[in-house]
């Protein structure tokens, strides 16, 4: 009988904190997770090893990165706290540490930046999203739901075999059909869980993050190409195939959705 087992990464949510998000370009709330390795059977974690890294995921845009937990004074357990409340509790020095950058963001909003600052901001956004899309970052994972439904399918198949070897022929056919239908339904539900996880992940793809990050600067396609040609191609190879025209189009769509400012 096929038993699926092995090790997988699991993210245990620890709480929330607030910091500057390089995609939202403002103070944002982050989910803080401990990253652990777990032994699994059918992707159901049975035994967890110790924490070997910490991740944070922006509540607003989905950007995530590895962090050193010591950058926060505390981790909040309040699931409802706004960004400013979280900042006061978890990152009290934020305003002082990010003063220069917050001033620059205010000048960007007032369209008072020079060409060098504009180029630096576009480059920074490109590098941040390249880091997000790079190796070691979160990937869509086969989740517990997939494992549970596959186990259910297996259970129905075993029950069908047992039922087929007992009782009269009419009952065997009826029970066989019922269990087969249940097994097929379980496999379909496992597939649904898998697809949903991939769709959820794709919704936070590099195009969307770049569009959000660049929206306040509204670059042209040729400006994006100029940035691409100036950054380290090895460090940003995850973005090599992105089309600058599509990023510009997504920015326009975001502006239309947001309405007149």
Taking CB under 5 A as the criterion, the residue among 10, 28, 44, 94 binding Zn ion is 28
Question: For 67, how many CA atoms within 13 A lie in the half-sphere containing its CB?
Answer: 22
Residue 30 CB, nearest approach to Zn ion (Å): 8
Residue 187 CB, nearest approach to Zn ion (Å): 37
Collapsing DSSP to helix, strand or coil, 100 comes out as helix
Residue 251 CB, nearest approach to Zn ion (Å): 16
Quote the CA–CA distance of 212 and 251 in Å, as a whole number.
Answer: 7
Quote the CA–CA distance of 137 and 206 in Å, as a whole number.
Answer: 12
Collapsing DSSP to helix, strand or coil, 40 comes out as strand
Quote the CA–CA distance of 88 and 162 in Å, as a whole number.
Answer: 62
Rule CB under 5 A: is residue 143 a binding residue for Zn ion? no
Residue 126 CB, nearest approach to Zn ion (Å): 15
Annotate each residue in 62-101 with x if it binds Zn ion (CB under 5 A) or - if it does not, as one string.
-x--------------------------------------
Contact 33, 12 (CB under 8 A): yes
Q: 209: buried, middle or exposed (CB in 10 Å: 19+, 13-18, 0-12)?
A: buried
Taking CB under 5 A as the criterion, the residue among 58, 209, 210, 242 binding Zn ion is 58
Taking CB under 5 A as the criterion, the residue among 60, 123, 137, 206 binding Zn ion is 60
> Which range of residues in 33-41, 58-66, 81-89, 142-150 is near Zn ion by CB under 5 A?
58-66
- CA 240 vs. chain centroid, Å, equals 20
* Among 177, 180, 189, residue whose Cα is nearest residue 150: 189
> Which range of residues in 19-27, 142-150, 178-186, 190-198 is near Zn ion by CB under 5 A?
19-27
* Among 25, 17, 48, residue whose Cα is nearest residue 35: 48
Q: Which two tokens stand for residue 26?
A: 């403002």
Rule CB under 5 A: is residue 160 a binding residue for Zn ion? no
Residue 162 CB, nearest approach to Zn ion (Å): 53
> Which range of residues in 26-34, 74-82, 99-107, 150-158 is near Zn ion by CB under 5 A?
26-34
Rule CB under 5 A: is residue 206 a binding residue for Zn ion? no
Query: Applying CB under 5 A, which residues contact Zn ion?
Result: 21, 23-24, 28, 58, 60-61, 63
């Amino acid at each position: 009988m096929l038993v699926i087992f092995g090790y997988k990464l699991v993210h245990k949510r620890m709480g929330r904190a607030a910091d500057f998000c390089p995609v939202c370009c403002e103070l944002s709330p982050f989910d803080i997770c401990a990253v652990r390795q777990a032994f699994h059977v059918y992707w159901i974690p049975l035994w967890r090893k110790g924490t070997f890294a910490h991740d944070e995921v922006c509540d607003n845009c989905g950007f995530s990165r590895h962090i050193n937990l010591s950058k926060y004074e505390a981790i909040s357990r309040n699931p409802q706290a706004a960004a400013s409340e979280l900042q006061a509790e978890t990152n009290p020095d934020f305003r002082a540490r990010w003063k220069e950058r917050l001033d620059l963001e205010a000048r960007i909003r007032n369209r008072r930046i020079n060409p060098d600052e504009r180029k630096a901001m576009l480059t920074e956004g490109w590098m941040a999203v390249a880091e997000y899309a790079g190796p070691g970052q979160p990937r869509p994972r086969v989740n517990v739901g997939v494992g549970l439904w596959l186990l259910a399918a297996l259970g129905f198949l075993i029950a069908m075999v047992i039922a087929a070897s007992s009782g009269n022929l009419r009952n065997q056919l009826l029970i066989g059909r019922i269990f087969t239908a249940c097994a097929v339904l379980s496999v379909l539900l496992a597939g649904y869980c898998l697809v949903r996880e991939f769709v959820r992940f794709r919704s936070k793809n590099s195009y969307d993050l770049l569009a959000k990050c660049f929206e306040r600067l509204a670059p042209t396609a040729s400006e994006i190409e100029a940035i691409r040609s100036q950054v380290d191609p090895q460090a940003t190879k995850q973005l090599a195939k992105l089309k600058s025209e599509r990023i510009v189009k997504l920015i326009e769509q975001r502006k239309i959705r947001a309405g007149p400012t």
